[in-house]
Amino acid sequence: NPVAGVRKFLQSPENRHHGLQMASAVVLAYLVSWLAGLPEHFWAAMSALIVIRPSMASTFDAAFDRVRATLLGAACGLLGVGLARFGIASLVSTLGIVAVLAFVSAAKPNLRSAPMAALIILSSTDIAGHSALQVAFLRVIQIAIGVVVALAISKASSRYRAADRLNAGCARLLRGAATRMAQTGAPTRPTDAQAERAGEEARRALSRLAAL
């Protein structure tokens, strides 16, 4: 049910927060590219979407590999553009370079951004006032803008402290379990509705802990 899926997404604070992070990354990367006077601003937004993660820690953990892969792909893309200028068929160089990088990324998953970055560069076409090679260099700059924007937004907006939240959540869950066990021997025992509600709360807590 698509409506139920959307409702479930909107009810999750983590999903809403990360959704706002991604939307902000798109808008900010686009604006930075526009203010810098670069053409085709959505390439910067695409780069930001590739890098950004829900938390600062995961973004920075992935950033080095993704920046390295992006730089490798950009370098290969620029090589392909240069080969095309020396008479190599553009289709041949594009498919060859992207296919090789895709093959390598299967063995090295941390290089998965490389073929995408190369394709961004190799799909460059002449635009007013710029040759294909110049546009390729401009896209390298846009990729860098997207990466920097993603890191900045993640650092500024990250609220996840998974280890601390996991410890606190486990403590709350154990305190709740202890309270319910203490109530078992009490003169006034909880009703079936109260027991069911407590069980549902415990299941939700365990689900959140599993996500952390």
> Can you tell me whether residue 127 is helix, strand or coil?
strand
User: Phi first, then psi: what are they for 207, rounded to 5°?
Assistant: -65, -40
- Is the Cβ–Cβ distance between 22 and 53 less than 8 Å? no
Q: What is the mean pLDDT of residues 120-147?
A: 75
- Is the Cβ–Cβ distance between 94 and 115 less than 8 Å? no
Residue pLDDT, tens place only, 49-71: 887 877 766 667 666 777 788 78
Q: What is the mean pLDDT of the chain?
A: 78
Question: Mind giving me the DSSP string for 18-30?
Answer: HHHHHHHHHHHHH
Which of 95 and 16 is assigned the larger pLDDT?
95
**pLDDT given at position 63:** 67
Which of 183 and 16 is assigned the larger pLDDT?
16
Beta bridge partners of 127: 130
Q: What is the mean pLDDT of residues 100-122?
A: 84
Whether 189 has a pLDDT exceeding 60, the answer reads yes
Nearest alpha carbon to residue 158 among 148, 166, 150: 150
Contacts 24+ apart (CB under 8 A), 57-63: 57/158, 57/160, 57/162, 59/150, 59/151, 59/154, 59/155, 59/158, 60/151, 60/154, 63/147, 63/150, 63/151
Whether 29 has a pLDDT exceeding 60, the answer reads yes
What is the chain's Cα-based Rg? 25
Question: What are the distances in angstroms from CA 95 to CA 89, 132, 189?
Answer: 10, 17, 71
Whether 137 has a pLDDT exceeding 90, the answer reads no
> Can you tell me whether residue 76 is helix, strand or coil?
helix
**pLDDT given at position 161:** 59
Calculate what percentage of the chain has a pLDDT beyond 70: 79
Whether 160 has a pLDDT exceeding 60, the answer reads no
Which of 2 and 26 is assigned the larger pLDDT?
26
